Structure 1
């Protein structure tokens, strides 16, 4: 029977979730990779011994079914990374906004809450077996502190996850630590124009993309340092500070 520590990662089929999965495989973890869409990256992870589980986080029953699958397979989970999210502007039609907000909250905050609660006993079991706390890392956003009004529902859903991080840090202590990483501009999407990229980087003190590795390194640091819980750690190159200075006339977005 394998004695490797177990990690569960959502949104593992692409971008940050994929890079986190690879890093944990390299560290000797047995990884459960939750994904919505099957990708070439998922095929590669499967080739590395990862267990891939398809799930639509917008469906609470599907989330619960995957929790049940995991706890049937293992009674011990050392690490949960709630990485998956959906990001979109608020609907133009106000009549569509309640349904949009409900979906964003389900994916970005309620599903992570389901996973934290449902895997809580397995996280506690792992902690007691190895003599050090297990870990949950929630990927939130710097917009939890400075919301963008064009993305009101998204920002609110990530703020809810930030608050849940604090609640579950208290609820699951001392056996489980719960922290959040707040990314800034770590990896532009293909749809971003050159103008949009310049605008974002002009609002970032370090004036460059961080790359997915910047978040992976912070996550691994949280794995290694078992005296941190309830923390909300920005990995944003100082963007939240530059935005604040611009709003107070101390900087310029140009």
Structure 2
């Protein structure tokens, strides 16, 4: 039977490239998106199963869980990658934005892990990978809510690793300067790279390789790996 993966936030950047890689390696991929429909449509053309859900709505999360359960009896890999990146000004001006930060980064992963636990346990080596952040340990004062929500996800990684063993493994990846956003100007990019010991933008392949590392080492659970070129050393 083909292995099955669910990737949240699969319509762009890391989620999209990971979904492509898994499809190329024979996985059945459930590709979640909120608004990045174009990327998921491309994945669907390669055989992925697209799932739209706005994680700021708890009912949408529950509905997506039901859709996955209706279509598969096992889940080998769950990657909680969906994200919303709001600064203090945004969440201070909008209670909806503040709620979304915690819904997307903490509540949705919690509900997905618990709601899909039976499918993960049905796999030979069910694996959850939570995408946290290097700032979950050393928070930025400009993104207090975001860092707090990512810290909650990091803590849940440890708790679920204990609670779900030995049937399901739960680990985390802490990305750093993997891929700059289009709105990042050259000054910002140079400042970030100056603070990064390896002095380069990492790209997405190191993240994909770390997913495979966790997948292929069955003796790892409750671990978190920084994929950041050493930047966490300097923040």
Q: What TM bracket, shorter-length normalisation?
A: over 0.9
**What residue is the counterpart of 2:69 in the other structure?**
71
User: Which is worse superposed, 97-106 or 11-20?
Assistant: 97-106
Once the two structures are superposed, the pairs formed by residues 220-239 of structure 1 within 5 Å of their partners are 220-239=212-231
CA positional deviation for 1:88: 1.4
Q: 1:93 to 1:143 in 2, by over 3 A?
A: closer
Q: 1:35 to 1:92 in 2, by over 3 A?
A: closer
Once the two structures are superposed, the pairs formed by residues 232-251 of structure 1 within 5 Å of their partners are 232-243=224-235
User: Which is worse superposed, 199-208 or 100-109?
Assistant: 100-109
Deviation sequence 1:62-104 (CA, Å, 0-9, x none): 000000010011111000000011011112684x465433220
| Secondary structure of 1:71 counterpart | helix
For normalisation by structure 1, the TM-score amounts to 0.90
| Secondary structure of 2:51 counterpart | strand
For normalisation by structure 2, the TM-score amounts to 0.97
| Secondary structure of 2:97 counterpart | helix
How many residues align structurally?
Answer: 235
Q: 1:161 to 1:92 in 2, by over 3 A?
A: closer
**What residue is the counterpart of 1:118 in the other structure?**
115
Q: Distance in 2 between the 1:177 and 1:221 partners?
A: 13
Unaligned stretches of 5+ in structure 2?
none
| Secondary structure of 1:72 counterpart | helix
Unaligned stretches of 5+ in structure 1?
128-132, 244-254
Is this contact kept in 2: 1:90–1:97, CA < 8 A? no
Once the two structures are superposed, the pairs formed by residues 209-220 of structure 1 within 5 Å of their partners are 209-220=201-212
Deviation sequence 1:115-141 (CA, Å, 0-9, x none): 0010100000113xxxxx210000000
**What residue is the counterpart of 2:2 in the other structure?**
4
Once the two structures are superposed, the pairs formed by residues 38-187 of structure 1 within 5 Å of their partners are 38-91=36-89, 94=92, 96=93, 99-127=96-124, 133-187=125-179
- Equivalent residue in structure 2 for 1:35, among 17, 33, 36: 33
Q: 1:192 to 1:79 in 2, by over 3 A?
A: same
